[in-house]
Structure 1
Amino acid sequence: MIRVVLATCFALIAMPAAAIDIKEVTSPGGIKAWLVQERSIPFAALEIRFKGGASLDPEGKRGAAYLMSGLLDEGAGDLDSTAFALATEELALKFGFDASADGFSISAQFLTENRDASVELLRKAINEPRFDQSAVDRVRGQVLSIIASDEEDPSDIVSRNFAALAHGDHPYGTKIEGTAESVAALTREDLIASHKDLLTRDRMFVGAVGDISEEDLGVILDTLLGSLPATGPEMPEDAPFLLKGGETVVPYNTPQSVARFGHVGIARSDPDFFAAFVMNQVLGSGGFGSRLMDEVREKRGLTYGVYSYIALREHVNLMMGQVSSSNETVAEAISVIRDEWSKMAENGVTEDELSKAKTFLTGAYPLRFDGNARIANILAAMQFDALPIDYIDNRNAQVEAVTLEDIQRVAKRMLKPENLHFVVVGQPVGLDASN
């Protein structure tokens, strides 16, 4: 029955963006967090993020952060894997641990009546992971299975090759899961070291939402995080972008080619970011209303899907996209994409396109706030990205403030069709595999 109650909590708690009142809380031990109180249902969610992530994997240890993330709920303190799983189920507690290229995240959702026991179990997972060899070997096997499966996935192959060609020896140049060789060589000591390096108080951001007071949150913060190392290792340098305009073909026996494309983009902190954001809504992220979908799919039938996006990273920012097309038509699809890149760079967008993009972006934004866990995630992400505490209140106004002149300016500055590089996996007709 308790699991049904928790599932109901997940489904019911949602808030309109305008109603979100964020408070900054500082624990007795000096740990800061952002809190949104919602006392109507006895349930709360925590999101904890640490900067660094898989980019902090030491040389030769690629995959350490990813493997470590899969082991924090595989036993902690005096509880082995089975006992930890049983305790989690009995408390109707939901955990999540995840490594990304730039961060490490911990998610937790728990009922108020089980809060103390839930916090204690989470404390053990964060501070006292066991890394039992049996669990390490089992989770390692799961990671190796993922790596082996990805080796035969054209979408993963194109992503892997684009990253390697674009970023070279930087951590961004390899998958966060590592390679079969690097993962097989990881030891328990490597995972302990990764845990120590990634979970540090100097790079930590916390969002909390639900039935919890400021005082109780302060106690929870010190309990969960107060004993973590104060500082972590040096962060990586900025990543290079080594690709110039053109195409690279990766031969692969498949009837349909997959192409990933991109060039240098724009930072989240750039004054022109919102203009670029709205511009891309028109160019490639607007589904069937976007120019790329209209020109590549609707008018020419060259693909089922094509999209572009602004890729924001800690150490490099890119303007990216992807398309799939038959081997016979992918060269034409690439040509059309370059043409649309050029048209947008030269002419910007129309008044009608701008109006529709603003309507969609401002209307869709409140839909993100559809549960305690998602709101907690947003709060932690805002801090991670150095956004102000009133960002939610002002975000739509910043979208509405974008003008045609703003987009024309940023499009000329940002979109460089001559710099677009396409990495194509397949047997494309009309593209030279030697490029």
Structure 2
Amino acid sequence: MSAALAEAGASPADVGSLISPGGIEAWRVESDFVPLVAVAFTFEGGAAQDPPGKAGAAQMLSRLLDEGAGPYRSDAFQERLANQAIELGFTTGPDAIGGSLKSLTAHADEAFELLRLALAEPRFDEDAVERVRAQTIAGLRYQANDPGTVATKRFFAEAFPGHPYGRPVSGTVESVAAITRDDLVDLHSRILSRGRVKIAVVGDMKADELALRLDHVFGALPEESRLDPVPDIELQGCGKRVVVDLDVPQSVIRFGVPGLSWRDPDFIPAYVLNHILGGGAFTSRLFQEVREKRGLAYGVGTSLASYRRTAMTWGYTATKNERVVECLDVIAAETRRLSEEGPSDDELAKAKDYLIGSYALGFDTSTKIAHQLAQIAFEELGIDYIRRRNRLIAAVTEEDVRRAAARTIGAAEALVIIAGRPVGI
């Protein structure tokens, strides 16, 4: 048995749960090795909650949370963060608005107070709103000629037509221009609630102190969110090839098939399958066949995407316009072969060794641990998932991989988007 498999039961972090007097739960890893604390949190409800015709609202909201809050306008708020070397940031995805905080323990009072203000009392000052709007629109105009961005946006539009997932998280020039301050205030009140947040805290902070800080920060938020329902959807357009005309010498390609969510019993076998197909960087089948053997592309790969209401296996590559057809044929043939024949014993063993042995690399800083825990909590995988995860991978068999393949890469022909001027399509 390999060293990685022998250590499959090892956990890179010992995780505990804490519930504050106000009923707010956080997963925590206490460590005084370094005098700092890292916090990660995820609120249910992201870009899928954007108002109709105003895609990009949730992203604008997240970018404005630290652009002035409470008594502090933007410059003053940022100055207080900088004076104490406090790191505070927010992100938006289709299903969530997330954030993180990192501070020296000595500055925890200031850090947690600024976090409370950002979450509960954002100002949405007119000058800040217009500045963030202008920055967003400038970015969108710049990206309009970027083949990778164009291909990705078109992929989601074709894969999830008429669905919130089909809208770009960053919006469009027109939709961002239409967003009002009232839209941002309403979205903030609907999404940011203490009842729909997952919190992880890592570092030098005792349980009783953390409990009080949780109530101070998150207790200031409404109890419940007011989210619009988002319907389930399967990836659409399978077998379809769409060309987005761009005058570039190399076409950028996005392709995808239905997938499995994190909470599906076959997700772990699908994860191993994906590593063998295209997720394993230099060792994957697609990398070997597309780049190493034929020189069709500099890079090629696949990954699993799991959302609240759908999941997919999707991939990327880029190649000369003259070789797009050949490249797509190789990808389709290799995907079909893996689905029909399954992996070799050697491929399966090496994939499991790598996925088990590399897992701890995602836990080498307090911030990484906090983000991992918040994501695991958001996906409802259980507080013991870190301890179980490597054992689950070690137990994957060839039969498991074949079953996962039949439900994903073998279930349908891929939806393919090509941004460029491919010859022969």
> Taking structure 2 as the reference length, what is the TM-score of the superposition?
0.95
Alignment of 1:142-157 (within 5 A): 142-157=135-150
Deviation at 1:410, TM superposition (A): 2.2
Deviation at 1:174, TM superposition (A): 1.4
Deviation at 1:26, TM superposition (A): 0.3
Q: Does 1:62 align with 2:64?
A: no
Partner of residue 422 from structure 2, selected from 412, 428, 431: 428
Rounded Cα–Cα distance in structure 2 between residues aligned with 1:364 and 1:350: 21
Q: 2:163 matched to which residue of 1? A: 170
Structure 1: which 5+ runs fail to align?
A: 1-15
Rounded Cα–Cα distance in structure 1 between residues aligned with 2:193 and 2:139: 28
Rounded Cα–Cα distance in structure 2 between residues aligned with 1:213 and 1:413: 46
Q: Does 1:414 align with 2:408?
A: yes
CA contact (8 A) 1:32 1:206 kept: yes
CA contact (8 A) 2:18 2:207 kept: yes
Spell out, residue by residue over 1:185-244, the C-alpha distance to the aligned partner (whole angstroms, 9 max, x if none).
211111111111121122210000001111111111111111212222233112342213
Letter in 2 for 1:76: A
Q: 2:110 matched to which residue of 1? A: 117
Partner of residue 336 from structure 2, selected from 322, 335, 342: 342
Q: 1:47 matched to which residue of 2? A: 40
CA contact (8 A) 2:13 2:363 kept: no
Q: Does 1:180 align with 2:173?
A: yes
Spell out, residue by residue over 1:61-119, the C-alpha distance to the aligned partner (whole angstroms, 9 max, x if none).
21111111111111111111111111111121110111111111120011111111221
Deviation at 1:417, TM superposition (A): 7.0
Rounded Cα–Cα distance in structure 2 between residues aligned with 1:222 and 1:203: 15
- SS of the equivalent of 2:53 reads coil
Q: 2:242 matched to which residue of 1? A: 248
Partner of residue 266 from structure 2, selected from 272, 283, 298: 272
Letter in 2 for 1:202: G
Q: Does 1:212 align with 2:205?
A: yes
Deviation at 1:276, TM superposition (A): 1.1
Partner of residue 361 from structure 1, selected from 343, 349, 355: 355
Rounded Cα–Cα distance in structure 2 between residues aligned with 1:410 and 1:242: 19
Rounded Cα–Cα distance in structure 1 between residues aligned with 2:375 and 2:412: 34
- SS of the equivalent of 1:217 reads helix
- Shifted more, 268-277 versus 375-384: the winner is 268-277
> Taking structure 1 as the reference length, what is the TM-score of the superposition?
0.93
Partner of residue 30 from structure 1, selected from 1, 18, 23: 23
CA contact (8 A) 1:341 1:417 kept: no
CA contact (8 A) 1:52 1:235 kept: no
Deviation at 1:17, TM superposition (A): 6.6
Q: 1:13 matched to which residue of 2? A: none
Rounded Cα–Cα distance in structure 2 between residues aligned with 1:270 and 1:167: 21
Spell out, residue by residue over 1:284-314, the C-alpha distance to the aligned partner (whole angstroms, 9 max, x if none).
1111111001111111111001111111111
CA contact (8 A) 1:172 1:239 kept: no
RMSD: 1.4
Rounded Cα–Cα distance in structure 1 between residues aligned with 2:38 and 2:103: 7
Q: Does 1:140 align with 2:130?
A: no
CA contact (8 A) 2:30 2:205 kept: yes
Tell me which stretches of 4 or more aligned residues in structure 1 moved more than 3 Å: none
Q: 1:7 matched to which residue of 2? A: none
Q: 1:4 matched to which residue of 2? A: none
CA contact (8 A) 2:252 2:318 kept: yes
Rounded Cα–Cα distance in structure 2 between residues aligned with 1:212 and 1:51: 26
- Shifted more, 410-419 versus 40-49: the winner is 410-419
Rounded Cα–Cα distance in structure 2 between residues aligned with 1:130 and 1:406: 52
CA contact (8 A) 1:342 1:417 kept: no
Rounded Cα–Cα distance in structure 2 between residues aligned with 1:395 and 1:124: 36
Rounded Cα–Cα distance in structure 2 between residues aligned with 1:59 and 1:410: 36
CA contact (8 A) 2:257 2:408 kept: no
Alignment of 1:245-394 (within 5 A): 245-394=239-388
- SS of the equivalent of 2:302 reads strand
Distance 1:207 1:251, change over 3 A: same
Partner of residue 99 from structure 2, selected from 102, 106, 119: 106
Letter in 2 for 1:356: K
Deviation at 1:418, TM superposition (A): 4.8
Rounded Cα–Cα distance in structure 1 between residues aligned with 2:135 and 2:209: 38
- SS of the equivalent of 1:116 reads helix
- SS of the equivalent of 1:168 reads coil
Q: Does 1:189 align with 2:164?
A: no
Rounded Cα–Cα distance in structure 1 between residues aligned with 2:75 and 2:149: 33
Distance 1:19 1:239, change over 3 A: closer
Q: 2:196 matched to which residue of 1? A: 203
Q: 2:6 matched to which residue of 1? A: none
Rounded Cα–Cα distance in structure 2 between residues aligned with 1:264 and 1:415: 7
CA contact (8 A) 1:282 1:353 kept: yes
Rounded Cα–Cα distance in structure 2 between residues aligned with 1:239 and 1:18: 35
Number of corresponding residues? 416
Letter in 2 for 1:36: V
- SS of the equivalent of 1:70 reads helix
Rounded Cα–Cα distance in structure 2 between residues aligned with 1:367 and 1:46: 19
CA contact (8 A) 1:25 1:214 kept: yes
Rounded Cα–Cα distance in structure 1 between residues aligned with 2:299 and 2:243: 20
Rounded Cα–Cα distance in structure 2 between residues aligned with 1:296 and 1:205: 41
